Chains A and B, each alone.
Chain A
Amino acid sequence: MHPKTRERLVLTVVGWLAAGLIFFPIFWMILTSFKTEVEAVATPPQLFFTPTLENYITVRERADYVHFAINSIVISVGATLLATLIAVPAAYAMAFFPGKRTKDLLLWMLSTKMMPAVGVLIPIYLLFRDTGAIDTRWGLIVVYTLMNLPIVVWMLYTFFKEVPKDILEAGRMDGAKPKQEVWMLLLPLSLPGIASTALLSIILCWNEAFWSLNLTTSEAAPLTTFIASFSAPEGLFWAKLSAASTIAIAPILVFGWMSQRQLVRGLTFGAVK
């Protein structure tokens, strides 16, 4: 075998192995969702069994999936739009008009992500209580926006840095105002980067469980609380939990799959000059 072909073969196998390893828990979850509760905990684990839809029926009976799913969509998209709206001008200023302290500022922003969320639970809960934000979609949108803002600013900053300054300068020479500069030049040029940032932000919001469990009860509860309601300390629950998890991740999985081209383009944006 030609050494190049062999190398390619090895890389392909490694690629498939890595993909299989990452996908295996999801595959197992989907498989478990079609088992009975007794089969779900059987040792040794069963790969072949008679599938049942019983868990999906129970999950549908016990909770209003659509209500939770709509909340998840509204909150994730809302928080992402708001975060992008704030982050674009911030990243623009930092990328093209850096000051002496811009780097420090960026690092400081990121450092807020280093604190465990539970450390600020009580202050945030009190703020939410006093502003009537507990169990509201807008309350969660605000929290998620603040939670993801450092990452969104960082990513956009990195993408904006890849855009040649000269293009913006040329625009300025032609009389473009900063707003036009951002809107008509910067955004179209870095669209793949913005899209992948937004995608990442939506995924992070979709999967966030700490704040959604603590700041919502029923009205604004997203899918993470829907999943949590099927976990139990007593009794068998794995099959039902797997069914709930499968339908909870299905929308984001499909969404991610549909936009993977955009995501890959964004993540490799500016990698080769």
Chain B
Amino acid sequence: MQTGKVALLFSVSWIAGTGLAFAQGQTLTIATVNNADMIIMQRLSPKWEQATGNKLNWVVLEENVLRQRATTDIATKGGQFDIITIGSYEAPIWGKQNWLVTLDDLGADYDYADIIPSVKNGLSFNGKLYAVPFYAESSFTFYRKDLFDQAGIKMPDKPTYDQIAEYAAKLTDKSKEQYGFCQRGKPGWGENMAFIGPMVNAFGGRWFNEKWEPQLTTEPWKNAVNYYVKNMKDYGPPGATANGHNENRALFATGHCAMWVDATSAAGYIYNPKESQVADKTAFTAAPMQVTSNGSGWFWAWSLGIPASSKKTDAAKSFVKWATSKEYITLVGSEAGWVAAPPGTRKSTYDNPEYQKAAPFAKVVYDSIVNADLTKPTKDPVPYIGIQYVAIPEFQGIGTAVGQQIAAALAGQSTVEQALETAQRSTERTMKQAGYPK
């Protein structure tokens, strides 16, 4: 009996960390998104429940629904959620509002130094960490090695957008439904703008100058969006304004695309022969740059945060610590295979030979994430942080409105210049209403 108690105490203290004392037998409500990594977490979480005596209630929602649901609850202090899955966009904004509990006190054994610095910075506000990273991603270029070899082209380590256009022209064969330039066209701040934002950065543009004045009609924006519309029309798949991440992923996996710039987290899927017909024909390189490499690859981290309205913060901290620890990553490696290990958060994952073996794309992903500096996303100085987004509450609306204008230009309903003029005016209006410059 005594031995059992000691063993239980030992396992609890291992999981909870020495700095955390928490009550057992609590039920926590966790809100999360429906993606492969989160589903693995849900499947493995009974191990944490058994060790701590706590129970988890899962609320799984689509990203945008989750965002609305969680915002309503947190802003009204509803206290419905003890743990929520948030992105790197929300973490600093919600941290600033004091909606989240700080997570700098998870104990020395949590090994904060192991977390990739750019990831930690992305989830902090004023030096305080408001969410811990579950998995992080950047963007890079997926390309078909077999098609490149056939055409006698060698993909550089750091391609430029000019080179990408040149290769796209050579590799497009519409009669075979083979397209050189498959990119997101579906409007939305998290859809087409996630690709266009970093592309504008690479062309030397920025969303706002230091005085928070929108810059959408400047030369870099015009060059970037003209490039995007022209190449999408000439070398992209038909009906591109309906294509988001999922649609392009399916197109690439079924052999219809020669190049695709998108999330590094899709690499595991493209490398999985069960789900992809091009698993053995795909290679990866950095996201394209143009006049600068600053902000040319995006940054996103799905993370776990604890709302300040939760009444069970100690137990919640114990869970977020467990789910984002090195031990958890090892657990996923052994239970679900190393290729499924949550990527992009910890240096130790990339030092692990088993992970390197299972994920040949590991180094390119690591380099992309390390180089994605949210605090220096553009060639010229900016007053904001964020690469494919601007970490202010108004950006969701602004990003989507601009995305709609660009999709209209892509669909041929307006010219690029008209689209950017309209986008500039609507952004100016929104920023004025929000009281910028602050």
Residues of chain A touching chain B, judged by Cβ–Cβ distance below 8 Å, are 37-38, 41-43, 62-63, 121-122, 125-126, 129, 134-135, 213-214, 217-219, 221, 225, 228-237
Contacts and interface: CB of A to CB of B under 8 A. Distances in A.
A218 B42 contact: no
A217 B72 contact: no
A236 B34 contact: no
Best-surrounded residue of B60, B244, B254 (most CB of chain A within 10 A): B60
Nearest to B79: A129
B65 A228 contact: yes
A237 B63 CA distance: 13
Contacts of B266: 234
Given A38-B253, A217-B59, A233 B80 contact: no
Contact of A234 (B35, B58, B73, B275): B35
Given A217-B29, A235-B35, A125 B78 contact: yes
Contact of A232 (B35, B73, B190, B275): B35
5 contacts: A38-B253, A218-B57, A228-B65, A231-B34, A236-B250
Contact of A121 (B64, B72, B253, B263): B72
A143 to B, nearest CB: 15
Given A125-B78, A236-B250, A229 B61 contact: yes
Q: For chain B, which range describes its interface: under 10, 10 to 19, 20 to 34, or 35 or more residues?
A: 35 or more
A235 B63 CA distance: 12
A233 B59 contact: no
Contact of A122 (B59, B76, B275): B76
A219 B247 CA distance: 34
A36 to B, nearest CB: 9
B168 interface: no
Given A214-B69, A233-B245, A234-B265, A62 B42 contact: yes
B61 A235 contact: no
A126 B57 contact: no
Given A228-B65, A232-B34, A233-B190, 9 more contacts: A62-B60, A129-B78, A213-B69, A217-B81, A225-B59, A232-B33, A233-B63, A234-B35, A234-B266
- Which residue, of A38, A129, A219, A229, has the highest number of chain B Cβ atoms within 10 A? A229
Contacts of B249: 235-236
B175 interface: no
B110 interface: no
B148 to A, nearest CB: 24
Given A62-B42, A234-B245, A235-B246, A217 B57 contact: yes
Contacts of B65: 213, 228, 231
Nearest to A121: B72
Contacts of A228: 61-62, 65
A219 B29 CA distance: 10
A190 B292 CA distance: 75
Given A41-B250, A213-B69, A129 B76 contact: yes
B34 A229 contact: yes
A218 B29 contact: yes
Nearest to B42: A62
A30 B184 CA distance: 29
B31 interface: yes
B250 A233 contact: no
A63 B58 CA distance: 9
Nearest to A238: B246
B29 A233 contact: no
Interface in B25-56: 29, 31, 33-36, 39, 42
Contacts of B42: 62
Nearest to A37: B275
B395 interface: no
B76 A236 contact: no
A235 B190 contact: no
Given A213-B65, A214-B72, A229-B61, A235 B78 contact: no
B269 interface: yes
A217 B80 contact: yes
Contacts of A37: 275
A41 B31 CA distance: 28
A235 B88 CA distance: 20
Contacts of B76: 122, 125-126, 129
Nearest to A219: B57
Contacts of B250: 38, 41, 236
B62 A231 contact: yes
Nearest to B263: A234
Contacts of B77: 129
Interface string B211-253: 0000000000000000000000000000000001111011001
Contacts of A63: 60
Nearest to A123: B76
B431 to A, nearest CB: 24
A213 B61 contact: yes
Contacts of B81: 217
A214 B275 CA distance: 34
Given A42-B254, A214-B72, A228-B62, A134 B80 contact: yes
Nearest to B62: A231
Contacts of B68: 214
B379 to A, nearest CB: 30
Given A233-B63, A234-B263, A135 B80 contact: yes
Interface in B178-192: 190
Nearest to A135: B80
A160 B31 CA distance: 47
Contacts of A234: 35, 245-246, 263, 265-266
Contacts of A236: 246, 249-250, 275
Nearest to A129: B78
